Structure 1
Amino acid sequence: MKTTPAQLKILSIDIGGSSIKGTILDSKGALTMDYKKVVTPKPATPEAVIESIKILVKDYPPFDKISVGFPGYVRNGIVKTAPNLGNDFWKDVNFSKKLEETFGQEAQVVNDADMQGLGVVAGKGLEMVITLGTGFGTALLMDGHLLPHLEVSHHPVSKGRDYDQYIGDKALDEIGEKKWNRRIKKVFKILKLVFNYDYLYIGGGNSDLLDFKLDKNMKIVTNADGIKGGARLWQDEKHTVTRTAMATPTKQ
């Protein structure tokens, strides 16, 4: 029996520098089960990550589509950079194709902050999503539509350091929470000035370390909220920027 859009079950995976999380969503993005996680393999080669996902989902119920949030620059399912997993392992890897060959279902792979953005934004105006974790992730959406991904994390921010180096996990470990929070305040001022967002959503494992009051148009969101974005990836009319054009040519 053919599955209707309302009956779709979507495997939604979030790949991070320390763990790989997954759940099954319905077509509206509701979790049909609690999300589970496994440790990200080291080295995190494409083959090792695929094996970890297989272990993660081995007892999951059946699913029809696959959505993956990936920690790097992805275009049309092909990874260009993966700084926290290993650029040399991942350059020009068609990860969507590898997933489809492994699981036999259509797959989409996008930047992890982009997928989190789809799961948390209100869909009104210019909304920005950032993730504070192993590195610094960003996503921009206009009226709920994903805008082309920018690797803001690799833009210099202070003394030749990029955002990953300035406020990522390694920096947090080196300088401690108090100084890290001062740096985060500086970053927030830059983002507000540069992007003029209507709303800023803050995710990632380190977001709960923030020790200062946020502006009214700023909000902390959870990984569980973000993983819901895997369902919204399959709304073709909204997110063609994440893959090659799929529209049927108009007859002349």
Structure 2
Amino acid sequence: MHLQTLTVDIGGSGIKVMVLDAAGNPVVDRDRRETPQPAKPEAVIDVVLQLAADKTFDRVSVGFPGVIKQGVTMTAANLDLDWIGFDLADTLSHRLGKPVRVINDADMQGLGAVSGQGVELVITLGTGLGSALFLNGVLIPNLELGHHEFRKGQTYEEQLGRAALDRDGKKKWNDRLLKAIASLQNLFNYDTLYIGGGNTKHIMVELPANVRVVPNVSGLLGGIALWRD
């Protein structure tokens, strides 16, 4: 059976969708809308429904910026407190009439990027800072690295999120990124670090040989992996 998958990437600034074929190849171009403000569940779901309205698909994969447990959003630091404890998978499944699986957005980005060899770490640079860890291609879920202390009493997200980039400028932000990469290498001893997210376009420094910038579309392409049993 050649099932088509609608993949949804919910972010603090934008909501993106794409339809993938059974092999994980895009069937249509990526579609995007601004994330509504405030980003409450009903408002975000309405945007997803609008983006899905003209597309043909059999199932849905969703990347969400927070901890996910059995389709329920447990945290949502960059959206709205109303998301805490919200059953996104069940609600969206009822609204779309299709089966839905939900995963952390950085986890989904990683599933679309990693090679499956050794220890692989993924960070996403956007409104906040997402993270995902893989061992030989197996996901270790719900790694919320962004909220851990990094330097000067601030978290990785406070030093590398969009607000810090806008406030402190690209040079300081890039300097901090290199410091973060060195810290993460010492912490995880990873084989490869993948950096994704919309703010990768602001990276101006030379990165270590085992660090790779991955395209934003990886956050959608990883959606096919949610249905591999």
- Shorter-chain TM-score: which interval? over 0.9
Secondary structure (helix, strand or coil) at the match of 1:14 reads strand
Runs of at least 5 residues in structure 2 that lack an aligned partner in the other structure:
none
Amino acid at match of 2:203: L
Aligned to 1:66: 60
The whole-number CA distance in structure 2 between the counterparts of 1:138 and 1:40 is: 21
RMSD: 0.9
Secondary structure (helix, strand or coil) at the match of 2:204 reads coil
1:36 deviation in Å?
Answer: 0.4
Runs of at least 5 residues in structure 1 that lack an aligned partner in the other structure:
237-252
Aligned to 2:69: 75
1:132 deviation in Å?
Answer: 0.7
Aligned to 1:180: 173
Of the two, which has the highest radius of gyration? 1
Residues 45-85 of structure 1: CA distance to partner in whole angstroms, max 9, x if unpaired?
A: 1111110111111111x211100000111111110110100
Aligned to 1:111: 104
2:89 maps to which of 90, 96, 101: 96
TM-score (norm 2): 0.97
1:148 deviation in Å?
Answer: 2.2
- Report % sequence identity: 47
1:124 deviation in Å?
Answer: 1.0
Secondary structure (helix, strand or coil) at the match of 2:169 reads helix
1:199 maps to which of 174, 192, 206: 192
The whole-number CA distance in structure 2 between the counterparts of 1:210 and 1:110 is: 27
2:30 maps to which of 31, 35, 41: 35
Secondary structure (helix, strand or coil) at the match of 2:127 reads coil
TM-score (norm 1): 0.89
1:24 maps to which of 19, 24, 27: 19
Note if contact 2:72-2:89 (Cα within 8 Å) is conserved in structure 1.
yes
Q: After the TM superposition, which segments of 4 or more aligned residues of structure 1 sit over 2 Å from their partners?
A: none
Secondary structure (helix, strand or coil) at the match of 2:133 reads strand
The whole-number CA distance in structure 1 between the counterparts of 2:76 and 2:218 is: 23
1:44 deviation in Å?
Answer: 0.8
